[in-house]
Amino acid sequence: MRTRELGQTGIEVSAYCLGTMMFGPVGNPDHDECVRMTHRALDAGVNFVDTADVYGYSETEEIVGKALKGRRDDVVLATKVNGRMGEGPNRHGSSRRWIIAEVEQSLRRLQTDYIDLYQIHHPDPRTDIEETLSALTDLVRSGKVRAIGSSNLPPSEIVQAQWVSERRALHRLRTEQPTYSILNRGIEREVLPVCRRYGLGVLVWGPLSSGLLTGRYRKGTPPAESARMHWVPRHLTDERKLDAVERLITVAEEAGMSLAHLAMAFATTHPDVSAAVIGPRTMEQLEDLLAGATITLGDDILDTIDEIVPPGTDIGPLDISYDPPAVTHPALRRRPAGDRAAA
């Protein structure tokens, strides 16, 4: 397993990061199998594990804690805070109140006294970034957290966070976790260049485009409703994406590899990507992903991919991607009716 530097943290991480969103009730409810999968990944050279408090309604962190017993010092452990963790107006978000309270719960569930990388799971428009960075700084100074990062942060907010840290003498965000795949290359325009400018490590999620780049979903074959989600994600029926997948399958076949291996190799080829998050649900899926860990792509294949999906473009969003309020709230995009009439 290849390793890379995690930005300028001085930490070396494996090119594959074991994502654990599928461990627990929304994916694989068998704790023992999830523990075995974690051990198999570690034995294969993966030293980077990513989870979140909200995964499995907190159950996932408990599974990860069991899996890392006796091996904690060999692992770079990342988790996240921000998602809703229960009833009440203050049991989510990026406020000092919630961060300081919730990190204690994550430490307990993970059975550890420190977290290597503590990430803000989503932007929180309600909370001043200085409030968030101040709380995270205190956690670093206390030794409970080694480094801090963000996930799904727009480039302008990455820059803003860096400026606030400099002006207020606060710890800087050291990593960013955006979505990135052959089908969703939008971060190549601004997010990755901004991360390079500030020396941020980048661990990308969704390199298989939530299943589209596994080859399981083909044009003309409607996907079955997921027994776990009870719905069919819209991106699995996006004709533009399915057309691209058909062309990419041909590219993979001609190169003598599976589509999933092509997709993972693409995600880890970019020089600004420190690691790509894999999210297996079964041991079979994990073994297949590990089998492609040493694959590299030549310029000829990368040029062909660029022709199918041009650099810096997204072929439609993923259903679980973060959209900022400026996009989701019509009131932020439209003048009041009275003002429009007067104009």
> Which residues does the annotation mark as catalytic?
55
- Helix residue ranges per DSSP H, 74-126: 96-110
C-alpha 121/C-alpha 42 separation (Å) is 24
Picking from 280, 296, 205, the residue whose alpha carbon sits closest to that of residue 40 is: 280
Going by their DSSP bridges, the two strands 3-5 and 12-14 should be labelled as: antiparallel
DSSP H or E stretch at residue 289:
helix 283-291
The per-residue b/e assignment along 97-133, b for 16 or more CB within 10 angstroms, e otherwise, is ebbbebbeebbebbebeebbbbbbbbbbeebebebbb
C-alpha 81/C-alpha 93 separation (Å) is 8
C-alpha 171/C-alpha 175 separation (Å) is 12
